[in-house]
Amino acid sequence: MSSELVLITGMSGSGKSVALHALEDLGYYCVDNLPPELLLSFVDLENKLKAEKVAIAMDVRSRGALPLVPAQLAQLRERNINIRLLFLECNTNTLVHRYSETRRRHPLSQLTAPLESDATTLPSETENLNTPSLRNLSESIELERELLADLREMSHIIDTSLLKRSKLQSYIHSLIGAPAAALTLMFESFAFKRGIPVHADYVFDVRMLPNPHYDPNLKELTGLDAPVAQWLDQHADVKAMGDQISQFVTNWLPALDEDHRSYVTIAIGCTGGQHRSVYLVEKLAQQFSSNWVTLKRHRELGD
């Protein structure tokens, strides 16, 4: 029986192929663009072949059968298969830029028949169904978001808008390298000026705390450096914020674990994502690592 199954879905152009290659590096047998109708039979086949680690990528080209997936995953869980769902997200502007660079056509760009869920279809587009017409790129992207909304809700979201290929690969390695049967905590620092991480389950704003940025001796350092940590240690407000975030997470982790979550991301943001948020992520990750599988990421430091 396949003991581990990673299912990758997400926006076209968001990096699913990169994620799949990263899983190959980890020893997973990988299949790209498997039609949902074949999911159960494919897993049965891999069971007979004694495959222990399988990764599958599905995209919107299988849109007609995507509603089948949640029930299929429930069946697989009943067989004691550990399932991890990863959804690769990306903002529209970045997707448009990526498509313009590659000159590829979006998989939903061609319209030969109307979809019930296609709110962008105009009457003139469907008058002659024998003559294919095209959606523009922005319309295709928004329709894709709508079609994948249910799977996105079930999955751990990875926002690849600011991730380079190598960073996405290392991120996948970290996530999937954690024990499959355990709830994994991801503490992530970020800068509000570059946007809130869309994949965060909880976001804490620490911009009101004392800021080492205004100390000339600390400005060019980060929360990973001892002088910054010592400076922040001296402020009662910083300790109070850390304690309150810790208490909140501690209170709700048992319920999240019982809800069969694979990952929970706690994002902590300050103005530049260099000092306060980095410091608190380091503190909290160290604190929770004794009882939970814990990862940490500093978005603005490239970690």
List of domains in the chain: 4-96+141-177 (3.40.50.300), 184-301 (no CATH)
Tell me the per-residue pLDDT of 147-156, one tens digit each, with 9 for 90 and over.
899 889 889 9
120 falls in which pLDDT band (50, 70, 90)? very low
Task: Return the percentage of the chain with pLDDT > 70, whole number.
Answer: 90
| Mean pLDDT (whole number) for 13-25 | 92
Between 115 and 294, name the one with better pLDDT: 294
CB 238 within 8 A of CB 211: no
pLDDT number for residue 266: 97
Evaluate if residue 124 carries a pLDDT over 50. Answer: no
CA dihedral 115, 119, 122, 126 (to 10 degrees): 10
Tell me the sheet residues that pair with 10.
88
pTM as predicted? 0.73
pLDDT number for residue 104: 82
Tell me the per-residue pLDDT of 48-90, one tens digit each, with 9 for 90 and over.
888 889 999 988 877 677 888 989 998 988 888 888 999 999 9
160 falls in which pLDDT band (50, 70, 90)? very high
Phi–psi pair at 259, nearest 5 degrees: -85, 10
Burial 97-134 (b: 16+ CB within 10 A, else e): ebbeeeeeebbbbebeeeeeebebbeeebeeeeeeebe
